[in-house]
Structure 1
Amino acid sequence: MPEPTVVPPAPKVTLWTPFVHAVFRAIWIAGLVSNVGTWMQNVAGVWLVTALTASATLVALMQTATSLPAFLLSMPGGVLADLVDRRRLLLFTQGFMAVVAMGLGVLTLSGGISAYGVLGFTFLLGMGAALNLPIWQSIVTELVPRPAVPSAITLNGVSNNIARAIGPAIGGVIIAYYSPGWVFLLNGVSFLGTWAVIYFWKRQPLATNGPAENFIGALRAGMRYVQYSPAIYGVLARTFAFSFGASAMWALTSVVVKSLNLSAGHYGATLSWLGAGAVTGAVLMGRAGSRLSFNQRVLLGVLAFVGTNLALALVSQIQVLYAVMFVSGIAWLLVMTSFSTTVQLSVPKWVQARVISVYMLVFQAGLSVGSLVWGELADHLSLRTSLLAAAGWMLASTLLAFPFPMRSAEGLNLDPAEHWPAPETEGPIDPDDGPVLVMIEYQVAPANWAAFHLAAEQLTRLRLRDGALRAGVFADVAVPTRISEFFYVATWGEHQRQHHRFTREDQVVEACVRRFHQGPEEPRVTHFLAFPNTSNVEVATPIPTLESQR
């Protein structure tokens, strides 16, 4: 009798596992260099505007020029990342930012730049970054196996925090001894380095099934997916609550340092301690992260930021503040990697970049609105009152863990099910024809109606999430055991895309509904296409009367 084959256990995933994959390793190193260049650029840009003008408004507009493009372009960037080859888009965005940064450097060194010119170039760089970031985040799942995705996302966070710790210092040295123009040129070179790594990446194109989506349709599909995905809008609600409260630290730490009669060097040191804490947090997560669920990580991080805001309000010694910022860096990485990992692992590839762009938009909105609110409170009441209010907000936000728990998404199978047979038609149908009505007829015993209704509600949500404009369940008044599920789709092409959007995970929900069906045959599926010249509207067309025809 042959001995059974013993399958060796899969190797344990650690923080460093993603570095085993050569492409991820190369892109991570290039990204680190580029992040350092970006933080150098930020320091040099603000310093140059300060030197060129006495207007505080123009200096403040540098932050607007950096962040505004994210509000305008992050969602379009996500749509493009799902519709167009991501490698080509990255080559475009990295090349665009390289040209802009080098152009600013040349003009600065030649003395032909003004404060308004710096603002304009900064806005262009922000446009490139806004288009680049959804693509950059969404390729993580292509570079490493699914079990290593959380570690890869953590390492990307480490890259940004290392750059935050050393980039401003390097930029400051170059500015002091040479010129901001050289910083801009070096930043441009860093983008070219990333461009070269992406160029040599032999990316396997994702398989595309069904008719191609247009831009507006794809944008609507992404918003609809978020609307009907409780796991996603739960993460978005908690992301906004966290970024809104945590923005007090980012907005008011410099004011706290100034109120203690300390120098700008002390403020820079607090940011360095914050970055060091984030890097330490990544190491701690690599060793003990598997013991904590994403929900526990977020709760710990939020509670840590309650302490951060309290300490900023009450602490008067800089050494204690350094320790607080170190712990805050750990908490920041803990929370943000948990949010980002949950989002990326909870959505299939066809809509991944679009959902990431919505997540980024919500995060930026929380930071921006929160900074404004806490700043206004500090101006009209007091700095301490504002920080105490932010601590109270963070404490109250822990209650969101009850309606919006963070569930693990690592075990989800989001591969396309591809189990629906192609509809039988007499001839080819134009993808733009529609609307389309799909009817699925079940035979359900009265004793199972309540349970069937609950299961059908889950399936209805999936229909709406994947493209249906309307969906529901009706019972035949003449034969109550005959229950029909329907969903209504705008076009034939959109329904074809539905066939390829349904995942293995969704099959479990569909199977729960179908197990209530009784009878020798499978549930009957019928497709109806709008009668010729019927417009795709929700309002009934009046039937002409004899009087109207005279």
Structure 2
Amino acid sequence: MPASTRSGAWEPLKHRAFAILISANLASNIGTWVQNVGEKWQMAELTRSPLLISLIETGTTLPILFLALSAGALADILDRRKLLLAAQTYMLFVAAALSALTFAHLITPGVLITMSLLLGVGAALTQPAWQAIVPELLPKEEIANGVALNSAGFNVSRAIGPALGGIIVGVMGPAWAFALNSLSFLAVVGALWRWKRVAPTQDLPGERFMGAVRVGLRYVRHSRPLQVILWRAVAFVFFTGIIFSLLPSLAIHHLHTSSETFGLLLGCIGAGAVSATAFLPRLRARMETNRLLLVFHLLAVAGITALGFSKHVWIAALALFACGTTWLSVLSTVNTAIQLSVPSWVKARAFGCYTMSWGGSLAIGATFWGSVASRFGIRAAFLSAGAGLLLATLIVHRLKIEALDHEPDLSPHRAAPHPDQGLDPEVGPILIQLEYRIPWAQREAFRAAMREVRSIRKRDGAIRWSLFEEPAKSGEPMVAFQESFVSSSWGEHLRQHHRATMEDREVFATAYRMDPEGRPRIRHLVAAWDDHENLIDRIWE
């Protein structure tokens, strides 16, 4: 059983910084959900088009698709606290502007969607950094429960915020809902201002922005565990996201609810998520991760299908409660898997890709399901989403998430200090050559081991990797191999040394031990001409 399942569900709250930040985030998220009700109710009053109503969800999540990876790169190379402060302050002013426009009766469907897009930009900048700071606030054994509490806080706000939003919209109007959201950002700004973050020591030159983005993409491309997590998230969110895009149309135009009842229906999603917080740690301790995910996927299928058939508010409320339970359970499990399977140097970029995956799925899904509903009807859209999720579940269940059942050792492997070559960190590209002499009897085992080495080198930033073998000579007991790969600069090569984990060290050691000397002979060559940028561009292409 992973250590994370043995600590109490509430243990992370004993850490003061974590408790303050998660409480402030709870207040801000309540404001966000109050605004969410106001936006959707305002749009439903402006138009009956399911497509236009669903575009509110698209506007909120589309920036995540395009900006989350860049935001993750920024969070890995800049001070995460300062980045979060800037993003939250920006969102405060956008929400205030939306409130002012509504008070002035200047709101149209186009203006509302535009303001949703602008708020989505702030959310895209916030989410990778926010997810990545959790390991800075908690010890490793409490990360899983910290992630669950972070998700629970979001879903407590989803239970309280919509109900409060429905009352505010019904009694005072959407403009006051937007004003409350603007004020709620002050809680997070204040908590971040008070947090005395201890930045990790950095004895290497900092990464450049575009280089950081490229390295992040390369990491995803060569990390199968992360690819599995992302595909699982996409398959789940694309279909379950129909709830957030079409629930306003279902509730207002088919169930004929008031704003207060609509808010309570949204609150049922949050209530289901909060209930999951209590039993999820115990279920994780007793059930294998992928079996647990299968159960929650099937529960989501049942909930979405029930929404398609529902003609009464109480049936919709029960279905939404079930969907809320699955939403927290699946995404909290996926989130924890990323925390435990990705090293700290690329964590925010990994969360950027994750955020981009589910945000893109929500944005594209909202437009898709809105179009389906406009052509075939709301109920047909929900029934199609339920059938699609069932099919997707059967497909992705074969992709196994292993990080929660076997936590890899991601602590940094600090190799011996690299000899000082007297090189500028920006000089490059650098060609690294490693020469091995392997007994003929171990030739095939060495080749197999080097396939794993290749994956690690490319995942950690190598641009091009090759393994060359000397032609066999009759009677020779040894065979010579040369491993070669390219780094974009000397500084980037030094960073690659520090990116290796203890788990990687075992992979390298397996290959190195086959050489009678215990280690390969290493050479570093610098590009001999000045046109380095063009060379890098060609290699990148």
> How does the TM-score come out when normalised to structure 2?
0.89
Q: Which residue identity lines up with residue 238 of structure 1 in the other structure? A: R
Q: How does 1:486-505 map to 2 (within 5 A)?
A: 486-505=484-503
- Using the TM superposition, name which of 322-331 and 358-367 deviates more: 322-331
Q: CA offset at residue 168 of structure 1?
A: 2.4
**What SS does the aligned partner of 2:241 have?**
helix
User: How far apart, in 2, do the equivalents of 1:386 and 1:474 lie?
Assistant: 55
Specify the alignment match of 2:61 in structure 1.
67
For residues 395 and 63 of structure 1, the distance between their equivalents in structure 2, rounded to whole angstroms, comes to 23
Q: SS at 1:411's partner residue?
A: coil
Structure 1 window deviating more from structure 2 (441-450 vs 263-272): it is 263-272
Asked if the contact 1:434/1:490 (under 8 Å) is kept, the reply is yes
State the distance in 2 between where 1:376 and 1:11 align: 42
Closer, same or farther: CA 537–251 of 1 in aligned 2, 3 Å:
same
Partner of 2:445: 451
Match of 1:163 among 133, 157, 163: 157
CA displacement at 1:359 relative to structure 2:
0.6
Tell me the alpha carbon deviations over residues 416-437 of structure 1, each in whole angstroms, 9 at most, x when there is no partner: 2111441453xx2122222211
Q: Contact 2:54–2:367 (CA<8 Å) still a contact in 1?
A: no
Q: 1: distance between equivalents of 2:364 and 2:403? A: 29
Contact 1:14-1:287 at 8 Å conserved across structures: no
2:338 alignment partner AA: V
**What CA distance in whole angstroms lies between the structure 1 residues aligned with 2:193 and 2:416?**
38
Structure 1 letter corresponding to 2:506: V
Structure 2 residue 516 is the aligned partner of structure 1 residue 522: no
Q: Is contact 2:413-2:505 (8 Å) kept?
A: yes
1:332-481 counterparts in 2 under 5 A?
332-381=327-376, 385-401=380-396, 403-409=398-404, 411-423=407-419, 425=421, 428-477=422-471, 481=479
Deviations 1:526-546 (A, max 9, x none): 111122436453899xxxxxx
In structure 2, relative to structure 1, the CA distance for the partners of 1:486 and 1:152 (3 Å cut) is same
Q: Is the 8 A contact 2:442 2:514 kept in 1?
A: yes
> 1-side partners of 2:344 and 2:536: how far apart?
31
1:212 Cα offset (Å): 1.2
SS of the aligned residue for 1:487 comes to strand
Structure 1 unaligned segments of length 5 or more: list them.
1-8, 541-550
Q: How many residues align?
A: 527
Q: Does 2:295 align with 1:300?
A: yes
Alignment pair present for 1:22 and 2:3: no
| CA 261–390 in structure 1, closer or farther in 2 if over 3 Å, else same | closer
Q: Structure 2: how far apart are the matches of 1:255 and 1:46?
A: 9
> Can you list the C-alpha shifts for 1:473-514, whole angstroms capped at 9, x where unaligned?
111226661112111122212111111111112111111111
Q: 1:30 to 1:406 in 2, by over 3 A?
A: same
| Structure 1 residues 393 and 23: alpha-carbon distance in aligned structure 2, compared to 1, 3 A threshold | same
Deviation at 1:271, TM superposition (A): 2.4
- In structure 2, the gaps of 5 or more residues are none
Shift of 1:464: 0.6
Q: Distance in 2 between matches of 1:382 and 1:452?
A: 60
How far apart, in 2, do the equivalents of 1:533 and 1:465 lie? Answer: 27
Deviation for aligned residue 1:465: 0.9
CA distance in 2, matches of 1:120, 1:383: 25
Over 3 Å counting, the alpha-carbon distance change for 1:448 and 1:146 in structure 2 is: same
Which moves more between the two structures, 19-28 or 181-190? 181-190
| Residue of structure 2 equivalent to 1:248 | 242
Q: What SS does the aligned partner of 1:444 have? A: strand
Query: Does residue 86 in structure 1 map to residue 84 in structure 2?
Result: no
Question: Paired residue for 1:197?
Answer: 191
Which protein has the larger Cα radius of gyration, Structure 1 or Structure 2? 1
SS at match of 1:481: strand
Q: Which residue of 2 aligns with 1:546?
A: none
Tell me the CA shift for residue 463 of structure 1.
0.6
| Higher mean C-alpha displacement, 403-412 vs 153-162 | 403-412
Contact 1:442 1:518 in 2 (8 A): no
Task: Find 2:225's aligned residue among 231, 240, 243.
Answer: 231
On the 8 A contact 1:305/1:331 being kept in 2, the answer is: yes
Percent identity at matched positions?
34
Report the AA paired with residue 529 of structure 1. Answer: V
Distance in 1 between residues matched to 2:199 and 2:416, nearest whole Å? 24
Q: Which stretch has the larger CA shift, 129-138 or 248-257?
A: 248-257
The answer to whether the 8 A contact 1:209-1:500 is kept is: no
Displacement after TM superposition at 1:145 (Å): 0.9
- Describe the SS at the equivalent of 1:455: helix
After superposition, the Cα gap between the structure-2 partners of 1:297 and 1:454, relative to the gap in structure 1 and judged at 3 Å, is: same
1:8-48 deviations in whole A, cap 9, x for unaligned?
A: x9994121111111111111111110001111122234445
Pair 46,380 (structure 1): closer, same or farther in 2 beyond 3 Å: closer
3-state SS in 1 of match to 2:535: coil
> Which structure 2 residues correspond to residues 95-106 of structure 1 after superposition, within 5 A?
95-106=89-100
Distance 1:21 1:217, change over 3 A: same
* Cα offset, 1:263, TM superposition: 2.3
Do the aligned partners of residues 100 and 392 (structure 1) sit closer, same or farther apart at CA in structure 2, a change above 3 Å counting? closer
Say whether the 8 Å CA contact 1:65–1:126 is kept in structure 2: yes
Distance of aligned partners of 1:388 and 1:106 in 2 relative to their CA distance in 1, 3 Å threshold: closer
Q: Which residue of 2 aligns with 1:482?
A: 480
C-alpha contact 2:465 2:486 (8 A) present in aligned 1: yes
1:283 to 275, 278, 286: 278
Residues 228 and 461 in structure 1, CA contact (< 8 A), matched pair in contact too: yes
* Preserved CA contact (<8 Å) 1:23 1:201: yes
For the 8 Å contact 1:420–1:499, the answer to whether it is kept is no
Comparing 488-497 and 59-68, the one that deviates more = 59-68
Mapped contact 1:295–1:401 kept (Cα < 8 A): no
- Shift in Å at residue 221 of structure 1? 0.7
- Name whichever of 407-416 and 493-502 sits farther off: 407-416
Check whether the contact 2:432–2:523 (CA below 8 A) recurs between aligned residues: yes
Deviations along 1:350-369, whole A, 9 cap, x unmatched? 11111101111111222233
Contact 1:294 1:408 in 2 (8 A): no
Aligned residue for 2:71? 77
| 1:309 and 2:307 are equivalent in the alignment | no
- Hey, what's the Cα distance between the residues in 2 that align with 1:439 and 1:485? 6
- Greater CA drift, 527-536 or 211-220: 527-536
Shift of 1:522: 3.0
C-alpha spacing 1:290/1:90, structure 2 compared with 1 (3 Å): same
Write out per-residue CA displacement over residues 175-217 of structure 1, whole angstroms, 9 at most, x where no aligned residue: 3443544333332222112111111111110222322111111
Deviates more, 1:149-158 or 1:526-535: 526-535
- CA 1:176–1:292: 2 relative to 1, 3 Å: same
| Matched-pair contact (CA < 8 Å) for 2:236–2:297 | yes
CA contact (8 A) 1:209 1:497 kept: no
Q: Check whether the contact 2:134–2:143 (CA below 8 A) recurs between aligned residues.
A: yes
Partners of 2:132 and 2:481 lie apart in 1 by 41
> Following the alignment from structure 1 to structure 2, what is the Cα–Cα distance between the partners of residues 269 and 447?
70
**Mean alpha-carbon deviation: is it higher for 486-495 or for 316-325?**
316-325
